[in-house]
Structure 1
Amino acid sequence: MVELAGLPLPQDVCAGFATALSWAGLGKQAVPGDQSVWTSDVFEGNPLTSDRERFYRNVEVLNAAPGLAAGPPTIGWLHAAFDAMSRLEGEKYAPKIRVPSLLVVAGDDKIVSNKAIEALSSRLRAGTQIVLRGARHEILQERDSIREQFWAAFDAFAPGVAIRKTA
C-alpha cells in the first residue's frame, strides 16, 4: 500500500485530517464514510475478491465468529498508514532499500493505487513488480487461476526450493 485510491480529497489533505483527529484523541474511532464495504455480505460489487465461493465462505466464517472480523479502519490506523506511505514517497527512501523486493499488484484493485506501486517499483534498486490481471485487493482470496499466478511469481522470486504441492 503506497497510496490509497478513491479518496474524497488529496491524500496529503486526508493525512492531515487523520493526524489532527488522532492528536485530538479520536484515533480509535472508525474512519468516517460508507462502512458497508467492510460489513457487506453481498458479493456483487465488492472490491476485495472476484471469487464468489471464497467471498461467501468468509461471510460464513464471520457470521459464525464475528470477533474475527477486522472491521472498518480506524482514524489511528489511517494516521499510521499515511505516515508509512509518506516515507515511501520520498525520492531518497526507495533506493536505500537493498533487500530484493517483489511487489505483487492486483490489477483490478480499487482500494490502493497501482500507479503509485509502479512508481515505487521503478525507484527500487533490487525490486520488481508483477501485475495480476483481474485480481482485486485480496489476492490470496482470489480465484485459483490468480492465486496460481501469485504462487508461481513468489516461488520464482523466493530463494530456495519450492515446496511440492499435493492435491
Structure 2
Amino acid sequence: MSQTVDTAPSPSPSSAPPRTSLPDGGVERFHPMPDGARLRTMEWPDGEGVPVLFMGGKRDFIERHAEALSRIRERERPLLALDWRDQGLSSRASVPTAHLFDRMETDLSHLMNYAAERIGAPFDALAHSMGAHMLLRVLAFDPAAAKLVRRAVLTGPMMGIGSGGAGRAGRILMRTAAEVMTGLGFGEHRPPGQPAYGPVYRSEERRQRLTGDTARFAESFFHIDSNPRLAAGGATWGWLRAAVRSMRKLRRPGVLERIDTPLLVFLGSEERVVDPDEVRAASTRLPRARLLDIEDGHHELFLDTDEVQQLLWQEIWSFLD
C-alpha cells in the first residue's frame, strides 16, 4: 500500500445549509498513485455497523453528497468516500484521456484495499453513475478486490449514455462522432451540451435533467462557491470516446455474468443522463442483481425530492441491513 498523506479534518463552513454539511469527524487524506497523481478520500473510521464505501459520478466531489454521507453515518457505519482522479480535489489532467478509465479502475482497486485496512471489510458499496460503472469494472476484472464487497447499491449506473430523446439513432451518432472527432485531434474539445463549467450548469434545463428538487439542486453548488477548485466542466470528445469503449468492454459476453456480488440497481422514471435501456439490459445479465424503478426519480437520486429519497433509502437499508 502506498503512503497516504493526512491533513486536518475538513469541516463544512459554518454558513453551510444543513443538508450540505459533512458529518462530524471526517479525516481527509491524499493518496499518491504510482503515476504521480494524488487521490483524495475522506474517512469516518469509527462505528459498529458494516462499513460503507461511497463513490459519486462524473463531476462529483465528496461534499456534493454530504446529505447521503450523513444518512450513512446516522446508521453508525464506518465510511470512506472518494474523489475520482481529474475531479474534486484529486489530481487534474493526470493521465491521457484514452487511458482514464483503465487508470480509474486501478485507482479504485487500490482504494478498496485501503478501505479494507481503514474501515474494515467486507464492506458495502454505494456507487452513482460513472462510479457505478467503475465499481462494476472492478467487480468484473479484479476478483481479489471484488471479495472485499459484501453488497453494492448502484444508482443510475453508466451502462450507456442518454441520447437526449434522440433514441437509438442519437446514441449511434454520438458514439460515431466521439470516435471521429477524437481521431481528428479534437479530443480535448467539448461537444454541444458539454460546456466548460459556468452559469449554464445552474440552469433550469439542467436541474430538470438531474433532480426534481429545486432547493437541493441550488444547494449542490454551495461548496463550489466556497471552493471553486471543486468545479468541473462537461465531457470532452476524448472522454466520451473513452467512456463508450469502457462501456463496450463491460458489455462483452460473459463479463457482467461473472459478477457474483449481490446488487441493488436503481433507475429513476425521469432518467435522462444515462441510457435506461442499457441499464435494464445489464441488470438482466448480472446474476445477483435486482432492478428497482423509482417513480418520479431523476438521475441524481441522492439529490432528489423528499418523496423519492424516502423510498430510495427505505429500499437501500432493507437491502443492506
* TM norm structure 1: 0.78
1:14 Cα deviation (Å)? 2.4
CA separation of 1:51 and 1:120: change in aligned 2, threshold 3 A: same
175, 191, 195: which one aligns with 1:15: 175
Structure scoring higher RCO (CA < 8 A, sep ≥ 6) equals 1
Counterpart of 1:43?
204
Aligned equivalent of 2:189: 29
Matched, 1:149 2:316: no
1:73-107 CA distance string (max 9 Å, x none): 11222112111222333343321222222211122
Greater shift, 90-99 or 116-125, is seen at 90-99
Q: Which residue number corresponds to residue 5 of structure 1?
A: 162
In structure 1, the gaps of 5 or more residues are 163-167
Stretches of structure 2 lacking an aligned partner (at least 5 in a row): 1-157
SS of the residue corresponding to residue 46 of structure 1 reads helix
Cα distance in 2 between the residues matched to 1:50 and 1:91: 36
Across the aligned residues of Structure 1 and Structure 2, the Cα RMSD in angstroms comes to: 2.7
Give the corresponding residue for 2:262. 100
| 8 Å CA contact retained: 2:259, 2:287 | yes
Q: 2:234 aligns with which of 72, 81, 99?
A: 72
Counting only pairs closer than 5 Å after superposition, residues 119-130 of structure 1 correspond to structure 2 as 119-130=281-292
Kindly report which structure 2 residues correspond to 1:83-98, keeping only aligned pairs within 5 A, or say none: 83-98=245-260
Tell me how far apart the structure 2 counterparts of residues 21 and 34 of structure 1 sit (CA, whole Å).
14
Taking structure 2 as the reference length, what is the TM-score of the superposition? 0.44
Q: What percent identity do the matched residue pairs reach?
A: 24
Whether the 8 Å contact between 2:197 and 2:232 is mirrored in structure 1 is no
| DSSP-derived class of the 1:105 partner | strand
User: How big is each residue's C-alpha offset from its partner over 1:31-83, in whole Å with a ceiling of 9 and x where there is no partner?
Assistant: 23464998242336621111111111124443444332221111222112111
